[in-house]
């Protein structure tokens, strides 16, 4: 089976632009990648940062669903610890009711923010929220699959507004525990290699070995999400990638900025080579021309045993980001819609 390519969009805000500009760019990129033949388009959840605009995946998914007709659309992901499982289930049931069987609900345990922002998202601030993700996840799955036992105190609430239309639930992860939960619950699994490339393939292998088949997913399914930037030449790709390298170098130091212009970033890289090198040791980057990147993507997919690769790309210039996805679609021979 040919390798499938998909998109993970973090809605980057470029220096001098607004969050609204970034969100409109996300809708534009979704339409563009649908035409190119990408399989799915997921949007991420982040809070309290001037670099990434999407704080509410549900809102952006609705806009993208209305602007597209074939590509799968979903969250990458909803950070469940912030929310009521019922509310998340209802939100995505509504989306499935509107946009049919192409809605994905990928769930994460991470806060998508710093501890102060995570605390600000709480409704009850008298104490910190409990770490009860497994219980939240089980309850949410009960709503989505309509399998809450009749003795459950919330059983009558499983009749969701989208009716028989249900989202496809995925579990996100970048650590061993997420793979364990995905395997136990019979859920498809998306691993964030762009966050933690250390040991990810081993985690994916254990997930497949320990997988317990479920009604909706009789077989394990793995997506690996990787950071990639493609341009016509290696030199141009590395030049464009300077913006992200500067932004994420500062991000890891707790200094949050919009995605800087390329010229600003190149100067920063020249002046801080050791800091940028440290970023390279912590994150995996695939940067270059199609001839450079395609073998790297194929090798990583094989390493994970993944049938699908999700591409994360951040550039200062929106057209350069679109061009990156275009070049990859051509390199892999995606079937245009």
Q: What is the CATH number of the domain that holds 126?
A: 3.20.20.30
**CA atoms within 13 Å, Cβ hemisphere of 1:** 9
pLDDT tens-digit series, residues 239-281: 999 999 999 999 888 899 999 999 999 999 999 988 888 777 7
Cβ atoms of 264 and 316 within 8 Å: the answer is no
| Domain extent at residue 222 | 4-331
Tens digit of each residue's pLDDT (9 = 90 or more) over 153-210: 777 777 888 888 999 999 999 999 999 999 999 999 999 999 998 899 999 999 999 9
Q: Average pLDDT over the chain, rounded to whole?
A: 93
**Would residue 73 count as lying in a domain?**
yes
Closest CA to 9 of 56, 44, 48: 44
Does residue 336 form part of some domain?
Answer: no
Residue-wise pLDDT tens digits, 210-239: 999 999 999 999 999 999 999 999 999 999
Q: Do 49 and 79 meet the contact criterion of CB atoms below 8 Å apart?
A: no
Number of domains within the chain: 1
Residue 186 located in a structural domain: yes
Over residues 116-144, the pLDDT tens digits come to: 787 787 777 777 777 889 999 999 999 99
Strand partners, 226: 311
Name the more confident of 10 and 147: 10
Residue 337 lies in a domain: no
How many C-beta atoms surround the C-beta of residue 7 within 10 A? Answer: 25
Provide the pLDDT for residue 202.
Answer: 96
């Amino acid at each position: 089976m040919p390798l499938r390519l998909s998109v993970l969009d973090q809605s980057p805000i470029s220096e001098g632009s607004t969050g609204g500009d970034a969100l409109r760019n996300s809708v534009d990129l979704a339409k563009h990648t649908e035409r190119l033949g990408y399989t799915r388009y997921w949007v991420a959840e982040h809070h309290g940062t001037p670099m990434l605009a999407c704080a509410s995946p549900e809102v952006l998914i609705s806009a993208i669903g209305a602007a597209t007709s074939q590509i799968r659309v979903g969250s990458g992901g909803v950070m469940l610890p912030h929310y009521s499982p019922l509310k998340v289930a209802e939100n995505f049931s509504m989306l499935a009711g509107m946009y049919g069987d192409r809605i994905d609900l990928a769930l994460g345990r991470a806060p998508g923010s710093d501890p102060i922002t995570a605390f600000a998202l709480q409704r009850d601030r008298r104490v910190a929220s409990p770490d009860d993700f497994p219980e939240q996840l089980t309850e949410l799955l009960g709503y989505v699959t309509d399998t809450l036992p009749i003795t459950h105190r919330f059983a009558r609430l499983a009749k969701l507004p989208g009716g028989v239309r249900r989202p496809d639930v995925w579990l996100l992860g970048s650590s061993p525990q997420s793979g364990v939960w995905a395997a136990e619950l019979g859920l498809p699994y998306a691993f964030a290699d762009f966050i933690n490339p250390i040991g990810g393939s081993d985690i994916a292998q254990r997930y497949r070995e320990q997988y317990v088949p479920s009604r909706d997913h009789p077989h394990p399914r793995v997506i690996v999400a990787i950071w990639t930037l493609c341009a016509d030449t290696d030199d141009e790709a590395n030049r464009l990638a300077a913006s992200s390298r500067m932004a994420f170098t500062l991000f890891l130091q707790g200094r949050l900025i919009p995605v800087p212009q390329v010229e600003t970033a190149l100067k920063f890289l020249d002046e801080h080579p050791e800091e940028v090198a440290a970023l390279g040791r912590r994150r995996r980057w695939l940067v270059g021309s199609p001839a450079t990147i395609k073998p790297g993507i194929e090798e990583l997919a094989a390493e994970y045993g993944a049938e699908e690769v999700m591409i994360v790309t951040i550039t200062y210039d929106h057209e350069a980001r679109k061009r990156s996805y275009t070049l990859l679609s051509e390199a892999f021979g995606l079937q245009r819609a």
